[in-house]
Chain A
């Protein structure tokens, strides 16, 4: 065991209540971008600390750091010459250490795998969307640059990617006036331009892997909302807040398209109230966070990643 292991374990455990606190905090809606950076740092820091703690409990100690310690354990096993009398006890300890090291490796592989799997699912779904859109959608002068699908529901979304698309249903065209449509387009263009989908992807992956975890659900819902608020803010550079707010109210109140059984998905339930939160933020904007506060958030974000990274690599 390295000395870093218990510290990393405490750090990983502390990330959980920190995530819950961040999800419950009110200040993120005043500066969504800063809050998103903090969420990313928290996720990365947790991953590093959790993997590092498990590997560290398994790694051979003695002022060598987790990475080098793990290597030393491996060479010890290959060497295979425990001292005579205490052979059994040593074998037990060695076994437990190998178990911890194995768990660390498994967790690392799992985290990488869920990210790859989530990305593959996203690519597949988008390809299907683009093929269907190429057969079904058409342009409309009311929404330049967007694709219109003849469906009565109030639906508007974008397909991010290298060949990104904005899709508006015919029902939305009827529901919104020209100014509101322009606000919707400005919002969706911001998503596409700034690749908000890539921001959300790791949190989607975490949610897929840790579906049972309340904090994974909270993190996903919080980042999803922050990304929407960020796109709202970008749209405000081109359009008045009131147009965007009434567009949100109309599309939200119309209910969009429902699943055949009329049920909302679990994540949609968790996100109940998000449309209302965006509207109230547009109509009654709170002041942005002061520069000193933003600087503090930046320092905390850097520390959240740097501390576990240091314990992982430096000899302690």
Chain B
């Protein structure tokens, strides 16, 4: 069963997961265009800036609509055309990812599993000392961080 989006994307019967991957790639490419641009863009401008291929106007519009529904893109009307811009900067989303990784190890929920949880300053100092004590073959800590 082909959804409207898949039909628009003109995906042949390669299977569901390929369609999803293809859609994900497009969303990502279009978000990259929005993040790069300092001002809002029309669908036509977004199409023009995609490095890829000759995508149908309606395809780009559908993906932009999906991104707007998911909350990653915002749109406003300029005359007759809708113009799109990113809802938040790429850095803001990266920060959200990293902070949620931090919180998950706390008592909120176990959605993710971190390799090493946050440590207190005392423990961090002890770990640095232990690393130094491991001796030859270990170059000094490349990043001690704060």
A interface list, Cβ under 8 A from B? 118, 121-122, 125-126, 128-129, 131-136, 149-151, 153-160, 167, 169, 171, 174-175, 184, 187-188, 191, 196-197, 200-201, 204, 207-208, 211, 217, 220, 224, 227, 231, 242, 245-260, 264-269, 271-276, 279
Q: Which residue of B lies closest to A153 (CB)?
A: B98
Partner of A267, one of B94, B106, B111, B120: B106
Q: Does B90 contact A (CB under 8 A)?
A: yes
A151-B98, A254-B143, A268-B106 known; 7 other A-B pairs, CB under 8 Å?
A118-B109, A157-B112, A252-B123, A253-B145, A259-B99, A260-B99, A268-B117
- The minimal Cβ–Cβ distance linking A276 to chain B, given in whole angstroms, is 6
| A135 vs B95: C-alpha distance when bound (angstroms) | 13
Asked if B101 is at the interface of the complex by the 8 Å CB criterion, the answer is: yes
B143 touches A188 (CB 8 A): no
B101 in complex: contacting residue of A253, A257, A265, CB < 8 Å: A257
Is B1 close to A, CB under 8 A?
A: no
Q: B112 near A258 (CB under 8 angstroms)?
A: no
Q: Mark B118-146, 1 if CB is under 8 A from A, else 0.
A: 11101110111011001000100111111
Q: Which 10 A-B pairs have the closest CB atoms?
A: A265-B106, A125-B111, A156-B115, A254-B145, A267-B107, A253-B127, A157-B114, A249-B131, A251-B116, A122-B111
A-B contacts counted at CB < 8 A amount to: 197
Contacts of B101 in A (CB 8 A): 155, 157, 167, 257
A251 and B115 contacting across the interface, CB-CB below 8 Å? yes
- B24 to A258, Cβ gap below 8 A? no
Q: Are A128 and B100 in contact (CB under 8 A)?
A: yes
Known contacts A154-B143, A211-B107, A267-B107; A136/B93 CB under 8 A: yes
